[in-house]
Structure 1
Amino acid sequence: MSNNLQQIVYISSAERPFTESELNTMLCDIRSNNEALGITGMLLYKDGDFIQAIEGDEHVVSSLFEKICRDHRHYGIVEMMRKSLVERQFKDWSMGFHKLSHTDPRLDGFNRLFDDDPSTEINPGDALNLLLVFRE
C-alpha cells in the first residue's frame, strides 16, 4: 500500500429515490467497508442526487471509485475532482452523511449542484466546498 493520499469528489443521481431505511442500510454498509479499507469521506443526498468525497490511499480510492461507478443504484456519475492530499479533509468520518432539504440555508449558492439541467455549468471546486460545509 502506498502512502499517497488521494481524494475523489463526484456527483450522481439515484436510480430511484431512496427510502430512509434504504439510506440507513446503505450507510451502514459503506461505513463498515470504508473502515476496513481506510477510507474517509462525506456523502450528501438531496432528492435523489448524491455528492460524495472519498479519500485514502490512492490505489484503494481508485479501486473503490471504479466499484462505485458499477453500482446499479445510481447513474450519471460525474467525477468532479481527483487530487492528491497532504492530509485528509474528512479524517473523522468513515462516511459522514447529511440528507439535505430544500430549506437548508447551507445550500445557499450551491443549489445548481443538484440541477438536473445538463447545460448547467458546475465549478468542480463548488462540490468539494459544499461537502466541507457539512464536515463539522
Structure 2
Amino acid sequence: MRYIISYVSTVNPDLSNTDIAKLMDHVNVHNNTIGLTGILIYSEGNFFQVLEGEEEIVKRMFERIKKDSRHYNIIKMLDKEMNDHSFSEYHSSFTVISDHYSQTELQEFLNKEKDYNPEHYKSILYLTQKFMKLL
C-alpha cells in the first residue's frame, strides 16, 4: 500500500533564491533515489509539497521536513493510505512547473483527490492554484 502526505509551509526569509534552487535540485535527486514520487513547488515565500511512497519512507521524510529550519508554519493537508500513485517520479520546481508532463500529472492528482478525498479537495485545489497560477 502506498502512502501520501502533503503540506504547505512558509519559507525562512533568510534563504536566498540560490539556496532555494539548490534545495530543489537536491530534493529532486534524493527523493527519486529513495523511491518517493510527488512534487515540491516554491512560490512567493511558500512551499507546497506532495510526498508519495512506502508509508515508512514517507513518514520518516515528513519527520525530517518538520525539523528543517528552512521553513516553518507547516500545515499538513493530507496524511493517508492510497491505492495508486499520482506521480510517476519526483518533481521540484522553482516558482512554477513549466513542463507540460508535470502539469498533466498534477492535474491527474487533483482529479483523483476530487473523487477520493472530497472533504479536502477544495483546499488542495485552492492552494495548488495559488502556487501554479496555471490551472
Q: Is the TM-score greater than 0.5?
A: yes
Instruction: State the alpha-carbon separation in 1 of the partners of residues 40 and 24 from structure 2.
Output: 9
Label 1:94 to 1:12 Cα distance change in 2 as closer, same or farther (>3 A).
Answer: same
Gaps of 5+ in 2: 97-118
Gaps of 5+ in 1: 101-122
Choose which of 65, 71, 74 in structure 1 pairs with 2:71.
Answer: 74
Choose which of 1, 5, 14 in structure 1 pairs with 2:2.
Answer: 5
Label 1:124 to 1:98 Cα distance change in 2 as closer, same or farther (>3 A).
Answer: farther
Judge conservation of contact 1:9–1:54 (CA < 8 Å) in 2. Answer: yes
Partner of 1:106: none
Aligned residues: 108
CA RMSD of aligned residues (A): 2.4
- Structure 1 runs (4+) deviating above 6 angstroms are none
| Offset at residue 31 of structure 1 (A) | 1.4
Partner of 2:25: 28
Instruction: State the alpha-carbon separation in 1 of the partners of residues 34 and 94 from structure 2.
Output: 22
Q: How do 1:25-64 and structure 2 match up within 5 A?
A: 25-64=22-61
Which structure has greater helix proportion?
A: 2
Partner of 1:94: 90
TM-score by length of 2: 0.69
Label 1:9 to 1:77 Cα distance change in 2 as closer, same or farther (>3 A).
Answer: same
